[in-house]
Amino acid sequence: MRRCKSLMIFPTLASLALLSACGQNAESDADSRLANVELPGGMTVKEQIEARQAHLKEIGKAFKTISDQLKTDSPDLPQIQAAAALVPKEAQGMADWFPEGTGPESGVKTDALPVIWEDTSDFNAKVVAMQDAAAQLNTVAQGGDVAAIAAAFQATGGKCKDCHDKYRKDD
């Protein structure tokens, strides 16, 4: 009798495992369907998220270049100037990088938090403030005054942080 009870339990566990796996596949299928939805601009959700991540990574690389140079005894101004010019260029259209449906609900990996779409006016104001600071950083960098560049760089970084603190998942 004991053996029969064991045999009865195992098929039940196997069925639960199978149902669970089916549910995961159904969820994955739903996620992949959302990722492939075409947005009004012509890109899919996945392509839009990947494009914004690419722009943000380029901004991050430019910031690293500027930061690294400002930490040296003899900063390379042409490197700083090139990186500073890249930041406002890469930040163009930033508010448009976050259309409805490109958040975590899409199933595509993103650090963007849902609050972006819940508080769009504040989010867009923070984007504009960052873009303005980036343009100012570029202007100051082209002037070549390292102390002024450092101050503008710090101000621009602060604008990035304002947005990251509220709208980006912690690293």
Please report, for the chain, the start and end positions of each structural domain, with discontinuous segments joined by +. Answer: 36-167
CATH of 36-167, one of 3.20.20.70, 1.20.120.10, 2.170.140.10, 3.40.309.10: 1.20.120.10
* Separation of alpha carbons 94 and 128, rounded Å: 9
Confidence of residue 73 (pLDDT cuts 50, 70, 90): very high
pLDDT on residue 32 = 61
Span 10-49, pLDDT tens digits: 333 233 233 333 344 444 444 567 888 889 889 999 999 9
- Classified as helix, coil or strand, 44 is strand
* Separation of alpha carbons 20 and 146, rounded Å: 59
Whole-model pTM: value is 0.79
Mean pLDDT value across the chain: 85
Residue 101 has φ and ψ, to the nearest 5°, of: 95, 0
